[in-house]
Homo-oligomer: A and B are copies of this chain.
């Protein structure tokens, strides 16, 4: 007899790079009084993405940002250019990471490892305010 709750988080305006969402997401989960289930996060955007990454050393986040800038550089050879030189690289970086994440809920807590955090990865150069859908099904 499982239950199902959903919400939309309106995230703060974030500039380019990785921004941790773990405590926002955990706080919402704690209010749903479920003990076991599956949380799914879904980002309705194509130039930002989701990532679970190391939450200990902030240098990891900088290195990730540099690496994705190298894998999907701003360059002059893209056909899609009318939304600015940072838009096509943003779509590629989103394609290489995640639009959705699913994380089990166990004994009322997300099954994240000790060093795992949930991040929004903003790929545009200017700050954007993003929405995030949360879907939790369980008991």
Determine whether A45 belongs to the interface, using a CB cutoff of 8 Å to chain B.
yes
CB of A80 within 8 A of CB of B95, answer: no
| A79 in contact with B92 (CB, 8 Å) | no
A19 at the interface (CB under 8 A from B): no
Chain B residue numbers with a CB within 8 Å of A112 are 44
| Contact present for A46 and B116 (CB under 8 Å) | yes
Interface range on chain A (Cβ under 8 Å from partner)? 35 or more
Interface residues of A in 103-139 (CB under 8 A from B): 103-104, 106, 111-116, 131, 133, 135, 137-139
A116 to B8, CA, bound (A): 17
Contact of A2 among B62, B111, B137 (CB under 8 A): B137
Cβ of A72 within 8 Å of any chain B Cβ, yes or no, is yes
Give the residues in chain B near A72, CB-CB below 8 Å: 67
